[in-house]
Amino acid sequence: MVDLSVDLCGIRLDNPVIPASGCFGYGYEFAELYDINVLGTFSFKGTTRELRFGNPTPRIAETPAGMLNAVGLQNPGVDKVIAEELPKLKKVFHKPVMANVSGFSIEDYVYTCERLDKEAQVGWLEVNISCPNVHGGGMSFGTDPAQAAAVTKAVKEKTTKPVIVKLSPNVTDIVSIAKAVEAAGADGVSLINTLMGMRFDLRTKKPILANGTGGLSGPAVFPVALRMVWQVANAVKIPVVGMGGVTTAENVLEMLAAGATAVEVGAANLTDPFACKKIIEDLPGAMRKYGWQA
């Protein structure tokens, strides 16, 4: 029996595979298809202080080897997540879950993190300072080292659970952002979020997405994500969670080789709801094939 377990910020995972936020809902929909307790954990849908309806439609566009999304953090707000979503999740998932948090001000981040920090089911707070599909928040904090550090410091002062800061690839130097949040007290970093992109409708000569631009995810971004994970892992001493275009067990091994402690799987879940289950099942064979020791 191959031991796939890893330690992420002091919490043991049975394996390093984690469905990424926004691609796995709050888990219970996938639990109708398979036992989601085979996962290391998962990062639930990005949660904000108040209810958000998200961006206008259309907000999904296909691209070769990927997709663009401009969903815009649609979610019911933290109070309803705690009151309604987490109790439903508890019935089907019996491990600590990762809470993904977004905001439009430092106060927003602190409020939402402080609320979720009190929930027994929450193991980690994944603080998303990198969403490219909202205005006046999200990525604006993740493109400036001082702002990224300020959010991290403020959240750490009010919470007790591990804080993993999710970084944006839409920067010139992602290492400087990673080092800034590490210095501010982050327990880990996760990367990458989506790359900004767009598509045009040739009939109307207008962008396909109502938002204009959207976030590119899927296999197309994997080499970029791998490069950034490698750069950051070699620059910081805190754990790195790698993500971006991961679709196979071999992709997971590449992320681990680049220095990741665990690996999130995003868009693959949208094309195949069994993607993470298959990756976990394939990992032992892939490790044997390439001579990896468990």
Active-site annotation, residues: 131
Q: How far apart are CA 162 and CA 156, in angstroms?
A: 9
Alpha helices in 118-257 (DSSP H): 139-142, 145-158, 174-183, 222-233, 249-257
What distances in angstroms separate CA 93 from CA 22, 86, 104, 122, one per listed residue? 17, 10, 30, 11
In the numeric block, which tokens belong to residue 32? 């109708």
What distances in angstroms separate CA 156 from CA 90, 153, 174, 183, 232, one per listed residue? 26, 5, 21, 12, 21
In b/e form, how buried is each residue of 226-237, taking b as 16+ CB within 10 angstroms? bebbbbbbeebe
281: CB partners within 8 A, 6+ apart: none
Strands 66-69 and 214-217: antiparallel
Q: End-to-end CA distance of the chain, in Å?
A: 9
Beta strands in 198-279 (DSSP E): 200-201, 206-207, 214-217, 240-243, 262-265
